[in-house]
Structure 1
Amino acid sequence: MWLDVNLLALFRKHLWTTITYWSVFISFGLCIAFLGPTLLDLRCLTHSSLQEITWVFFAQQFCLLVGSTLGGAFKKSLKLCLSVLFTSSLIISMVFVIIPFCRHVGVLAVVMAVAGLSMGCIDTISNLQLVKIYKQDSAVFLQVLHFFVGFGALLSPLIADPFLSDTSCIQANSTLNGSRNLEHIRNSIVPHHPGNMSHYVLPLHGPAQTNVAYAFWIMAAINLPVPIAVFLLMYSKGMVPGCEHKRGSLLTADELAMEIQKGNEISDSQMTETQEAQRDKGHFYCCQSKTFWNAPYTFFAVHVCSAVILFMTDGIVGEYSGFVYSYAVEEPLSLAHKTAGYLPSLFWASITLGRLISIPASYKMAPRTMLFINLIGVLGAFLFLILSQNTMAGLFIGTAILGIFISSVFPSMLAYTEDILNYKGCATTVLVTSAGIGEMVLQILVGMVIETQGSYSFLVCGVSLSALAFTLYIVLLVLDNLHPRELNETSLKTSEPGKDEKPYQQ
């Protein structure tokens, strides 16, 4: 039978909760993708230079990392998690409304920093809660979760495009160098690497005329159902003050194991005092337990190895989407600016398509098998790009292949790492934060290499990073075989027969 009966029963029980977590990630996708296309119009609203406005990227990304780390601190109760998700998704709608009224780049940076904190909390909490609910079956649900990120990231540029200015939206008396090729400047803007904007000069003084405010207000309206859905979930669980007809808390490991084994529902009110005490230890439970401090070296090595792999792969996503346009318009391809502008859109569309394909694939394949296919595909895509570097068709085909294969690395790695560590949820915060750091830092490093070594180094960096990620994956497989599974089972107090077998293996 293609669908597992126990999995369907578990999904039906947590249907509204799961859909809510999925929908919250649409907010994440909307907020992470709108800044690039609208940056020139925001420059006009704030009357700032290109170098000044690109630092708004840094404010958002840095606070996203902070929010990702803080998100793990809210996991000790479901009520706290849902409260943070409600607040974060509501803040994102408010940010969309407020942005058009920001008339100074410093104010805009503060607003985007607040949005980044909200995005980070959403990222960590949603991943963490799905892992805690579905455990060894979480891979397919994580794939759906990250599909909605891609969906939101595709949606926001489409909404913004009709409202973007075709000419410099600051009406100056004279047209300065660079204002005649606004689309080229827009595509050349790279997050976290403002130095490449120094040779573009646009007007700073004069009345600003732009309709981009309507795009932000439309996105605010589209995002508004998300906090409403979270609020309804809180209400259904009796977590709204004055409506406390139910009690909500996280499923513990004991409860979920009993649920899968026996197929019956266990209410939160039946938790033992021991389970309550374990839950109340909160964010630092993994560090407080004797298992952590007495853990073998493989416990720490798995965390480090998985984190570095995601540092590389998410860094590849960031640097490729940021620099593929600049690579295409330079030698040896020298594509037209309009043609090269389709490459970042093709890359993100391929990522979204790949995540859609990965949903049924992850149900049939183990996370480590998915990772093997993905990382081999990423390395193969870069080798194909190098071999066909002088052809436009090769660049477009290679970009599509890269997007499809790199799309599901993060959810597969998260599911595989938690599988090795027996789904305690301790690794989620580490992996989410490491991925965010990689996306920010590698853009800066690769940008510096391109400036000093030339455009060809763009693909060389990609091959090097993907080869290193695949090598570390082999190391992770070795660590998986060396890591003592019975230690994890004892710490979780589960003695289910066959528990040490790999889930999903066919």
Structure 2
Amino acid sequence: MWWDESLLVLFKRNLQPTLTYWSVFFSFGLCIAFLGPTLLDLRCQTHSSLQDITWVFFSQQFCLLVGSTLGGVLKKSLKLCLFILFISSLIISLVFVIIPFCQHVGLLALVMAVAGLAMGSIDTISNMQLVKIYQQDSAVFLQVLHFFVGFGALLSPLIVDPFLSDTNCIQSNNTQNKSMNLEHIRNTINPHHPGNVSHYVLPLDGPVLTNVSYAFWIMAAINLPVPIAVFLMMYKKGVVPGCGHRTGSLLSEDELAMETQKENEIIDSHVPETQPQEEHKEGKGYGVSWHCCQSKTFWNAPYTFFAIHVCSAAILFMSDGIVGEYSGFVYTYAVEEPLSLAHKTAGYLPSLFWASITLGRLISIPVSYKVPPRSMLFINLIGVVVTFLFLLLSQKSTAGLFIGTAFLGLFLSSVFPSMLAYTEDTLNYKGCATTVLVTAAGTGEMVLQILVGTVIQTQGSYSFLVCGVSLSILALTLYVALLVLDNMHPRLSEDSTCKTPELGRDADPYQQ
């Protein structure tokens, strides 16, 4: 087998929670990718303009960032985490059911804002819990987690495609016999740059002919097993009110991390199984969750501790921003000079990009077991820079654009899970970095689309690749700085991984 026996034992021991977190992340992917393809049909349903309906994107993305932060603040205990995951996954199914009944754009934006809060909570909590369960072995499991979000994001457009309107779904006397390339409009719409649709004028009044409601109800049914899986996990842990079944104790995150660390040490034969639990009560690191900012050791931490957080967050800001801006504007770049591709041909580029990301995450699952996150990140970021340079040099080649798009998706696919695993490894797997990294990645995806969209609008389509080269080189430079910080960051000695009586309860382990 491609992984060792100890990892298999650990996986079997945590089989139910691991599968549950993976399934919840599938819900996240399912919900994040349906809005773009269905936006024109939702515009008809709400009788709104293109400029108005694109703000639904903003409400979802902004509340996703808020949910990511709240997920980090509220993850005080495993019991609370499971409750939040159950409510969030259930909300996603309810959102799919409710969307067809939203007849006003404001109501639709409110529903998508609630969905964004649920998605953000799922993003932070699932990443954090897997890191805490598997610690130094978390990289491979994080790769699987992010494969599921890619799989969900790839599946939802396939579900909705048969139900999308082929003609203008609002029938009026002025447009009933007028042919319009709706596929071109769908690919041109960018969630964070509403100005790029201002020249399209579509009717607002008239009978609505759309079957997209069936797609939402199908996705609601597909997602329904996910909250059921979370509920079963809650029942097993004794969280469900009025149910006495309890096969394991509910631990706080500190205790969960301590117990997982002890199990890993037992499996790896680093310490005897009979080692007293008291020796682990003050494990290494600066605390967890929002308690990070309240512990004395947090404020006494070396400057490299804070610099690593900032540098890692900035890298994910750039990398996820590249994902957002490339998927959002590659179609617009392709249909304009010098390529001037046909609309149908250019429409394959975003799908190819997301398919490559999903394939890359699948490939990264076995690779991440053999290759450490530090090396994977270096290969990925170098690959992103080289791919953008290739795209820039072959800007007049259609084949070059398709090849470059595929390789760019492959190299970007595993940056986030690898960065999360590497940063938590450097900071001793206490979960403090997860909320920061998740929020930074989401912010980059939103902000860089706005910035790059503005540059393209003012400087022309050529600037699309120039922005990509600049952002990828900046991300690689920041990664080199992160490696320097990693080498400068003080490491706890083997003896200091457990608090000794001489150090005392409130002593700073870096001041020995």
Q: Distance in 2 between matches of 1:177 and 1:297?
A: 67
Shift of 1:181: 1.2
Under a length normalisation based on structure 1, what TM-score does the superposition of the two structures give?
Answer: 0.93
Shift of 1:260: 1.6
- The one-character-per-residue Cα deviations of 1:300-324 (angstroms, maximum 9, x if unpaired) are 1000000000000000000000000
**Residue in 2 that maps onto 1:421:** 427
**Residue in 2 that maps onto 1:146:** 146
Instruction: Find out whether 1:446 has 2:432 as its counterpart.
Output: no
**Residue in 2 that maps onto 1:301:** 307
- The one-character-per-residue Cα deviations of 1:353-372 (angstroms, maximum 9, x if unpaired) are 00000000000011000000
- 8 Å contact kept, 1:93–1:221: yes
- 8 Å contact kept, 1:371–1:409: yes
- 8 Å contact kept, 1:376–1:470: yes
**Residue in 2 that maps onto 1:351:** 357
Q: Distance in 1 between matches of 2:11 and 2:350?
A: 35
Q: Distance in 1 between matches of 2:67 and 2:382?
A: 32
* Matched letter for residue 391 of structure 1: S
Q: Distance in 1 between matches of 2:233 and 2:256?
A: 19
Shift of 1:253: 3.6
Counterpart among 259, 262, 273 of residue 263 in structure 2: 259
- 8 Å contact kept, 1:68–1:429: yes
* Matched letter for residue 19 of structure 1: L
Shift of 1:284: 2.0
Under a length normalisation based on structure 2, what TM-score does the superposition of the two structures give?
Answer: 0.92
- 8 Å contact kept, 2:37–2:160: yes
Instruction: Find out whether 1:248 has 2:250 as its counterpart.
Output: yes
Q: Can you give the 5+ residue segments of structure 2 that lack an aligned partner in the other structure?
A: 501-512
- Equivalent residue runs for 1:26-425 within 5 Å: 26-175=26-175, 180-246=180-246, 247-249=249-251, 250=253, 251-263=255-267, 275=281, 283-425=289-431
Distance 1:178 1:458, change over 3 A: farther
Shift of 1:8: 1.1
Give the root-mean-square deviation of aligned CA atoms.
Answer: 2.4
* Matched letter for residue 312 of structure 1: M
Distance 1:242 1:282, change over 3 A: farther
Q: Secondary structure at the match of 1:331?
A: coil
Q: Secondary structure at the match of 1:252?
A: helix
Distance 1:396 1:277, change over 3 A: closer
* Matched letter for residue 225 of structure 2: P
Provide the aligned length of Structure 1 versus Structure 2.
492
Shift of 1:348: 0.1
Shift of 1:22: 0.2
- 8 Å contact kept, 2:284–2:498: no
Q: Secondary structure at the match of 1:486?
A: coil
Q: Which moved more, 1:352-361 or 1:245-254?
A: 245-254
* Matched letter for residue 199 of structure 1: H
Q: Can you give the 5+ residue segments of structure 1 that lack an aligned partner in the other structure?
A: 495-506
Shift of 1:176: 8.7
* Matched letter for residue 424 of structure 2: E
Q: Secondary structure at the match of 1:304?
A: helix
* Matched letter for residue 257 of structure 1: Q
**Residue in 1 that maps onto 2:482:** 476
Shift of 1:254: 3.0
Q: Secondary structure at the match of 1:59?
A: helix
Q: Which moved more, 1:178-187 or 1:141-150?
A: 178-187
Instruction: Find out whether 1:461 has 2:467 as its counterpart.
Output: yes
Q: Secondary structure at the match of 2:192?
A: coil
Distance 1:154 1:488, change over 3 A: farther
* Matched letter for residue 161 of structure 1: D
Q: Distance in 2 between matches of 1:205 and 1:117?
A: 32
Q: Distance in 1 between matches of 2:498 and 2:145?
A: 26
What fraction of aligned residue pairs are identical, expressed as a percent? Answer: 77
Distance 1:272 1:79, change over 3 A: farther
Q: Distance in 1 between matches of 2:304 and 2:178?
A: 54
Shift of 1:124: 0.1
Q: Distance in 1 between matches of 2:260 and 2:40?
A: 50
- The one-character-per-residue Cα deviations of 1:151-186 (angstroms, maximum 9, x if unpaired) are 000000000000000011001111199961111101
- 8 Å contact kept, 2:258–2:280: no
- The one-character-per-residue Cα deviations of 1:221-256 (angstroms, maximum 9, x if unpaired) are 000000000001111111111223323224534322
